[in-house]
A and B are shown apart, each in its own frame.
Chain A
Amino acid sequence: MYTHVFSTKKNGVSNGTLYKKTFIEHFEQAPMYVAVLTFVGFGVGTIFGYLRDFMRAWGLEKRNIAEEREQQKDFVPLYQDFENFYTRNLYMRIRDNWNRPICSVPGPQFDLMERVTDDYNWTFRFTGRTIKNVINMGSYNYLGFAETEPTALKTVTKELQKYGTGICSTRQEMGTLDKHVELEKLVAKFLGVDDAMVFGMGFATNSMNIPALVGKGCLILSDELNHTSLVLGARLSGATIRIFKHNNMQSLEKLLRDAIIYGQPRSRRAWRKIIILVEGIYSMEGSIVRLPEIVSLKKKYKAYLYLDEAHSIGAVGATGRGVVEYFGMSPDDVDVLMGTFTKSFGAAGGYIAGKKDLVDFLRTHSHSAVYATSMCPPVAEQIIRAMKCLMGLDGTTQGLQRVRQLGKNTRYFRRRLHEMGFIIYGNDDSPVVPLLLYMPGKIGAFARRMLEKNIGVVVVGFPATPITESRARFCVSAAHTREMLDTVLNALDELGDFLQLKYSRYSKSSHPELYEETRFELED
């Protein structure tokens, strides 16, 4: 659990003039009784897990899960570790809250397929009905570009009719279209860098390009809570990986100093390259990276910076250009700018942008460019139209309005949740809002009851989060209206009281005007 409660850095205090505006993040720790009760819940769940495993082993109960064949029973057991135990006995009980199929565009409201289970979540069947107009608080639709209006998608349909959907080739063979060249120029102009390259899949952008940039003899300093794509890319590259504590600059500086003083482990030679892997917004915590401090550290110790702006591009910043603009810094400070088009642009794919030498190198040496199919043309056109809308090139101010609406919605939602007394993690400006639930029994109850009220949320537990800190993660969108947010907040208020989720010890009263009237002075 995090140890500091409120972390506030104002101008002129600890970092001098590095931060141009206040940087407030919350990582409140819950009261002690919550931790105790969480462990009680997990204890009971574990005891019953052992009981069920015992019954399955002795044939008293039908086995529905994966297990070894009879001939393999004398070999090393495959399914006895904690993760499999947890999946069999705890995850299966609340499995109906995940992988829910949807049958409409994931806009601010969507339709769900109704499904029921007859044997406690081992199998599901669809009843054939759909649940209509469920408020969507889980999709990464930050700017609301996931829409089906014909006027908005005019150019996309035109390109679909011109190019079709398949590319049937890789970038280096015959898969580079004029659409890709146009898109890359537009991305470079949007971010304010020399050049950019786009890939068909966001996860593959990270995992296939980091091995091209670093290799053996290099050092990777990666944040504790980095996404799996960054971890996979780092491991595939073969470089040495060291982890620093989440957003903790003292930890990072210590690692950098040790790396420069001691060099490589046995030969004590200098590292060929030191690269720092961070994300713009961390999707499970809602925290924003401390970019000014990292850039000053990187300049001091001559390291490189790889910034993954998957969630922050389009979502933060005055005109939606990501964390670089949010902190008022220049894009030349960051060596490799990476991002995805899945979240704010309503499309699929990723990009890497930076100096021209870097992008030219990646065009020839990246696994993704050589072997993976390139982005499909209608998707590229969707990104082009979304980016033109954001930059104002289509003649309207709709893009800027969307960014402002997202900022307003984020601040309103977070302020109301703080006032109600929930524990919310993360920075005040990030559209990802994790609400802490802690106890395992409440994960299932929360998701089911919210669906009954026609609101779809994403709940997260172990292994994506630490085992005692399960949470519900809301993604605010520019397409949400005030009424939708108010509906959700009222439902949360009610549910928070019923399930006792308001653990915060620092909540302000939500009706301060009621207490003002009692103060008056009698004049004698």
Chain B
Amino acid sequence: MDFKSMKYYLYWLYCQFELITCSYLMEPWEKLLFYTFNITMLVMISYTAYLFIPVHISTAFQFFLHLLGNQHENAVSVVK
């Protein structure tokens, strides 16, 4: 199978998605419903990930640093 272009590859991926989730068999209004539901869920999950994952990662990072014995940045201060 020759991937003539990026567009053909994307079309092929879309066909695979259609076949696996049986949306190849659905009538147009069912497809609309299914894709709307899927895209909505995807957008919500990615938005949640965008908001919360950086905060979680930095909290986890600080926790592990504390565990390994390093002092907090705030604890070290220049005392004149």
List A residues at the B interface (Cβ < 8 Å).
37, 40-42, 44-45, 48, 51, 90, 93-94, 120, 439-442, 444-445, 494, 497-500
- Residues of the A chain whose Cβ atoms lie less than 8 Å from the Cβ of B12: 498
- Residues of the B chain whose Cβ atoms lie less than 8 Å from the Cβ of A497: 1
List B residues at the A interface (Cβ < 8 Å).
1, 12, 15-16, 18-27, 30, 34
Inter-chain contact B21/A441, CB cutoff 8 Å: yes
| A499-B19 contact, Cβ under 8 Å, with A444-B24, A444-B25 | yes
Inter-chain contact B21/A40, CB cutoff 8 Å: yes
Q: Count CB-based A-B contacts (< 8 Å).
A: 48
From B25, which residue of chain A is reached at the shortest CB distance? A93
Known: A498-B1, A498-B15. 5 other contacts (CB 8 A): A37-B20, A439-B20, A440-B22, A440-B25, A499-B19
- Residues of the A chain whose Cβ atoms lie less than 8 Å from the Cβ of B22: 41-42, 44-45, 48, 440-441
What's the Cα separation between A430 and B19 when bound, in Å?
A: 31
Between-chain CB contacts (< 8 Å), 28 pairs = A37-B20, A40-B20, A40-B21, A41-B19, A41-B20, A41-B22, A44-B21, A44-B22, A45-B22, A48-B22, A48-B26, A48-B30, A48-B34, A51-B30, A90-B25, A120-B27, A439-B20, A441-B18, A441-B21, A441-B23, A441-B24, A441-B25, A444-B24, A444-B25, A445-B19, A445-B24, A494-B1, A499-B19
- Residues of the B chain whose Cβ atoms lie less than 8 Å from the Cβ of A444: 24-25
What's the Cα separation between A523 and B1 when bound, in Å?
A: 40
Min CB–CB distance A18 → chain B (angstroms): 45
What's the Cα separation between A403 and B12 when bound, in Å?
A: 42
Min CB–CB distance A173 → chain B (angstroms): 52
Inter-chain contact B1/A44, CB cutoff 8 Å: no
What's the Cα separation between A402 and B49 when bound, in Å?
A: 66
What's the Cα separation between A90 and B22 when bound, in Å?
A: 10
- Residues of the B chain whose Cβ atoms lie less than 8 Å from the Cβ of A442: 19
Inter-chain contact B25/A94, CB cutoff 8 Å: yes
